[in-house]
């Protein structure tokens, strides 16, 4: 397998080297036909965009095949153009170094998978091309001076090298970069057809605008005529189509400039003036099209992200509300289950009492009642009454606690409440819903800790923490203990909820408060329990929360809550909250 892998890697490297060399050679030979005298520098060097674009699109890991292919193609193209061997080698080194430096700058500051989907990325490519061609131009100008005896000042030769290679990178590299991006994320068929049709129309318009001469073109220029189709491409399609259109227009400008055709072949202008006009036009068309395409691509991406975030927010809100209702449902089910015992006992006692009363009434009708029978009847009635009172008081306490907790949760009103009493009511309403055998729960809360806050939110926090411990902490072990401690410190209260369950791993602790994170998704957990706790504590209750845990040693959740919650809501009394609930 390793031999096959190595063979595949070498075949891929050789294929890339040959492909780069062929493409670079063809572009170089075409460019060498466009020479300015007397220094012999091409006015447009698209081959620079071939090597730099390939390196940026494929990543800097492909540098050696691209460098070798670039050097081989440069040396061969220059030798066929009657240049010296040493000069050709130096030109090959300069061109390969130019591509490597440009690609390295892009990867260094923007990372791999570089695209032109943002305006700042377009300007980054222009900046990297400027640096790369400026450095390589120094070596190229010196090589022309040493090996070809150029009489033109080094500064002028460097300027021509810089302009031709810079335009080559700016024109050709975006096409290769965006083509690679489109290959990774293929556009839909409708966009592909629309983009291809628009590029074809733009090619026709550019041919008419550039190849023909007219008074209109003399006044407005062909670049202005091409603005409308370029704007359409940028607004409707991905940047790859705008890059293709700019490439076609640039080739048309270079072709007509070289052979003196159409607008850029005006015989009244010198060759130098025509070259400058062509270079400026190529620069305007390419950068303008790239910036427009990047701007619209960034807008489309932001809209997509916004829509996805909105959809996720709606889904998250729905799941959170579902989780809250499920928690309230568990509370109702637990209280209902717990009420069955005292109500059932009371019903049995009342039924027995009714039978005894009926039996005693029959005894009275049938004859005189003995004193012992009357005493037994009174004693049994007293015992039944005691049982009824005890069980009904127990049921009434459960109902009152549930009623208060349900009112707090449904109204989410702010009110003054005693932390200890509220906690006892919440725990009393939660415990019946826990699976049996129920885990021992210890409260260590001082009396008279009065809070001006939201008891409903506090109850939701405590409910989620208790059920989280039972479901996760005690899932793989029987029994276990839970402890809730509170300490008042100045204007805040420190609350610690802890259990001696299985604990949480270090990796999971970094994500416990993230939405939808759970280690029991396969068993139906949604991963929203601690996320809701975090939101309620930090937002509505205005506090802080932290979690400390270790595998096999349990978990502790530390909360710091202000005695007076933030906000300007007017606190309501317990009675008014209950009245509002009943109404």
- 298-319: pLDDT as tens digits: 998 888 888 887 777 677 667 6
Do 250 and 171 touch, CB atoms closer than 8 A? yes
Cα 54 versus chain centre, distance:
29
Q: Is the pLDDT of residue 93 over 90?
A: yes
Considering 257-261, 280-284, 339-343, 411-415, the range whose residues carry the highest mean pLDDT is 280-284
Q: Which two tokens stand for residue 301?
A: 């991406």
Across the chain, mean pLDDT equals 79
Predicted pLDDT at 325: 64
- How far is residue 362's CA from residue 357's CA, in Å, rounded to a whole number? 9
* Under 8 Å between Cβ of 459 and 408: yes
Look at residue 123 and tell me whether its pLDDT is greater than 50. yes
More confident residue, 34 or 193: 193
- Cβ 158 vs Cβ 138: under 8 Å: yes
Task: Give the lowest-confidence range in 151-165, 285-299, 431-445.
Answer: 431-445
pLDDT of residue 574 exceeding 70:
no
| Better pLDDT: 460 or 514 | 460
Higher pLDDT, 376 or 134: 134
Q: H or E element: which one contains 171?
A: helix 154-184
Q: What are phi and psi of 562, to 5 degrees?
A: -70, 145
Report d(CA 283, CA 171) in Å as an integer: 8
pLDDT of 545 above 80: yes
Q: 175 with 240: CB under 8 angstroms?
A: yes
Question: What confidence score (pLDDT) does residue 360 get?
Answer: 78
Residue 100 binned pLDDT confidence (cut-offs 50, 70, 90): very high
Cβ(90)–Cβ(45) under 8 Å? no
pLDDT digits (tens, 9 = 90+) for 472-527: 777 766 667 889 999 999 899 999 999 888 888 887 887 787 766 676 655 555 56
Q: What is the mean pLDDT of residues 28-40?
A: 59
Cβ within 8 Å of residue 327, ≥6 positions away: 460, 463, 464, 467
Give whole-number Cα distances, 518 to 38, 283, 295, 509, 522, in Å.
Answer: 73, 54, 39, 11, 9
Whole-prediction pTM value? 0.57
pLDDT band at 573 (very low <50, low <70, confident <90, very high): very low
Q: Read off φ and ψ for residue 578, nearest 5 degrees.
A: -65, -40
Predicted confidence at residue 566, as pLDDT, reads: 85
Q: Which residue has the higher pLDDT, 113 or 341?
A: 113
> Crossing angle for the helix pair 419-430 and 455-468, nearest 10 degrees?
50
pLDDT of amino acid 211: 63
Assigned CATH class of 1-177: mainly alpha
Kindly indicate the confidence band of residue 411, based on its pLDDT and cuts at 50, 70 and 90.
Answer: very low
Domain spanning 409-567: which CATH class is it, in words?
alpha beta
Contact between 69 and 18 (Cβ < 8 Å): yes
Find the mean pLDDT for residues 53-67.
88
pLDDT of residue 525: 58
Segment among 60-64, 88-92, 130-134 with least mean pLDDT:
60-64
pLDDT at 130: 94
CB atoms within 10 A of CB 97: 17
Locate the domains of the chain by residue range: 1-177, 409-567
Neighbours of 421 (CB within 10 A): 17
Q: Report CA-CA distances (Å) from 400 to 375, 406, 487.
A: 37, 10, 27
pLDDT at 451: 92
On the question of pLDDT at 436 being above 80, the answer is: no
Three-class SS state of 86? helix
Q: ω before 437 within 30° of 0 (cis)?
A: yes
Phi-psi region of 213 (alpha: psi -120 to 50; beta: other; left: phi over 0): beta
In this prediction, residue 407 carries a pLDDT of 53
| Stronger pLDDT, 84 or 139, i.e. the higher one | 139
């Amino acid at each position: 397998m390793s031999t096959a892998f190595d063979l595949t890697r070498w075949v891929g490297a050789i294929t890339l080297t040959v492909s780069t060399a062929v493409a670079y050679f063809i572009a170089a030979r075409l460019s060498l036909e466009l020479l300015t005298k007397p220094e012999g520098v091409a006015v447009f060097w698209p081959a620079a965009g071939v090597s730099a674009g390939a390196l940026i699109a494929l990543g800097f890991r492909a540098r050696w095949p691209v460098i070798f292919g670039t050097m081989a193609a440069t040396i061969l193209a220059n030798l066929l153009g009657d240049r010296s061997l040493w000069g050709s080698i130096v030109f090959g080194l300069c061109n390969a170094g130019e591509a490597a430096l440009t690609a390295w700058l892009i990867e260094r500051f923007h990372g791999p998978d570089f695209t032109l989907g943002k305006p700042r990325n377009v300007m980054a490519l222009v900046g990297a091309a400027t640096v790369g061609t400026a450095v390589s131009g120094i070596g190229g100008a010196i090589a022309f001076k040493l090996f070809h005896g150029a009489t033109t000042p080094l500064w002028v030769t460097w300027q021509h090298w810089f302009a031709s290679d810079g335009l080559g990178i700016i024109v050709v590299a975006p096409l290769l970069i965006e083509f690679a991006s489109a290959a990774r994320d293929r556009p839909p068929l409708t966009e592909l057809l629309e983009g291809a049709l628009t590029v074809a129309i733009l090619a026709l318009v550019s041919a008419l605008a550039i190849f023909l001469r007219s008074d209109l073109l003399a006044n407005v220029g062909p670049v202005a005529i091409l603005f409308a189709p370029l704007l359409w491409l940028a607004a409707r399609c991905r940047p790859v189509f705008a890059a293709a259109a700019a490439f076609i227009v640039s080739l048309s400008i270079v072709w007509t400039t070289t052979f003196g055709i159409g607008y850029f072949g005006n015989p009244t202008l010198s060759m130098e003036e025509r070259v400058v006009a062509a270079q400026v036009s190529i620069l305007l068309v390419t950068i303008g099209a790239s910036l427009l395409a990047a701007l619209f691509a960034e807008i489309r991406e932001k809209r997509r992200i916004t829509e996805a975030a909105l959809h996720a927010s709606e889904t998250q809100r729905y799941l959170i509300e579902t989780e809250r209702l499920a928690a309230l449902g568990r509370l109702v089910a637990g209280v209902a289950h717990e009420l069955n015992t005292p109500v059932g006992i009371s019903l049995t006692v009342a039924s027995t009492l009714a039978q005894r009363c009926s039996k005693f009434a029959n005894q009275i009708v049938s004859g005189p009642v003995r004193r012992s029978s009357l005493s037994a009847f009174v004693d049994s009635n007293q015992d039944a009454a005691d049982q009824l009172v005890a069980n009904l008081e127990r049921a009434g306490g459960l109902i009152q606690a549930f009623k208060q907790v349900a009112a707090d949760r449904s109204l989410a009103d702010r009110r003054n409440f005693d932390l200890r009493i509220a906690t006892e009511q919440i725990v009393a309403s939660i415990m019946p819903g826990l699976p049996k055998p129920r885990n021992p729960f210890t409260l260590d809360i001082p009396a008279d800790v009065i809070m001006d806050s939201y008891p409903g939110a506090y109850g939701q926090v405590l409910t989620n923490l208790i059920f989280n411990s039972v479901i996760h902490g005690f899932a793989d072990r029987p029994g276990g203990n839970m402890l809730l401690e509170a300490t008042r410190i100045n204007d805040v209260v420190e609350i610690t909820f802890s259990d001696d369950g299985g604990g949480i791993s270090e990796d999971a602790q970094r994500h416990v408060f993230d939405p939808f994170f759970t280690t029991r998704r396969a068993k139906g957990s949604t991963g929203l329990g601690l996320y809701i706790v975090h939101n309620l504590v930090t937002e509505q209750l205005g506090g802080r929360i932290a979690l400390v845990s270790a595998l096999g040693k349990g978990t502790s959740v530390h909360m710091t809550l202000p005695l007076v919650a933030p906000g300007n809501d007017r606190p309501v009394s317990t009675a008014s909250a209950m009245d509002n609930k009943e109404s």
